């Protein structure tokens, strides 16, 4: 059985748990103490050299990190329900959206948080530079404005179907909105989207 290394109350682990639950894939769950730094300890870094969560370990011992890469793997393992796409063009579209969301919103958003409100927590884990925090947050807000425009007339990030990008974006954006970068009420397409996802029985639960 696949082993899932996860953590409580953390948005990237939550994103993968969403995908696994939607696809109804049975996994053995191993909870790592992220707050206590177990993910950065010698033992766990042997499993995932990136020292982050989540990751999965396959039956042959191979470890895969990065939620989007794991989502692609799980889609090949169990294509139904579809979370990447039904054909080559749909799959490319989903991957395009994931890259855009990562570059324009999630990467600057997490860097913004880690270098401001999160600095004391992350200082022992990575290089912290408070001068980059606020510019990163401003870039994130620009990304949110862009995403708001892209969501006009559609229910999900890739169109009218839920994709793994939604499973990832929602918990990350929710987390960032609570701790660091609120979503402006004027971004009506985006706030409606967040409301819609909060009503999803798996993604919005807890
Ligand atoms: N891009 C990675 C992000 C992983 C990540 O940032 N995980 C966070 C939890 S939300 C983490 O491990 N933080 C603790 C740390 O970096 O020490 C993914 O898709 O899995």
53 close to ligand 1 (CB < 6 Angstrom): yes
For residue 206, report the distance from its CA to the centre of ligand 1, in Å. Answer: 20
Report the SS3 class of residue 11.
helix
Q: In the CATH scheme, what is the code of domain 2-77? A: 3.40.30.10
In the predicted model, is pLDDT for residue 180 greater than 80? yes
The segment(s) of the chain belonging to CATH 3.40.30.10 are 2-77
The segment(s) of the chain belonging to CATH 1.20.1050.10 are 88-198
Question: How would you label 25-44 residue by residue, b for 16+ Cβ within 10 Å and e otherwise?
Answer: eebeeeebebeeeebeeeeb
Task: Kindly report, residue by residue over 13-29, the tens digit of the pLDDT.
Answer: 999 999 999 999 999 99
For residue 89, report the distance from its CA to the centre of ligand 1, in Å. Answer: 29
Task: Kindly report, residue by residue over 136-150, the tens digit of the pLDDT.
Answer: 999 999 999 999 999
Q: Which of 129, 109, 125 is nearest to 177 (CA)?
A: 109
Which architecture does CATH list for 88-198?
Up-down Bundle (1.20)
């Amino acid at each position: 059985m696949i082993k899932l290394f996860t953590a409580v109350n953390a948005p990237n682990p939550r994103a993968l748990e969403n995908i696994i639950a939607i696809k109804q894939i049975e996994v053995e769950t191993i909870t790592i103490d992220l707050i206590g730094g177990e993910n950065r300890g010698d033992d766990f870094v042997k499993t995932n050299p990136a020292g982050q969560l989540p990751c999965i370990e396959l039956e042959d011992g191979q470890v895969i990190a990065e939620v989007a890469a794991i989502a692609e793997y799980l889609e090949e393992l169990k294509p139904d329900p579809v979370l990447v796409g039904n054909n080559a063009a749909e799959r490319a579209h989903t991957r395009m959206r994931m890259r855009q969301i990562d570059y324009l919103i999630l990467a600057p958003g997490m860097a913004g948080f880690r270098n401001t409100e999160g600095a004391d927590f992350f200082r022992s884990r990575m290089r912290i530079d408070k001068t980059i925090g606020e510019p990163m947050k401003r870039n994130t807000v620009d990304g949110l404005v862009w995403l708001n425009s892209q969501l006009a007339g559609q229910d999900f990030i890739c169109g009218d179907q839920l994709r793994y990008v939604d499973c990832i974006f929602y918990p990350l954006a929710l987390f960032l909105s609570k701790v660091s970068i609120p979503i402006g009420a004027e971004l009506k397409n985006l706030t409606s989207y967040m409301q819609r996802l909060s009503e999803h029985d798996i993604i919005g639960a807890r």
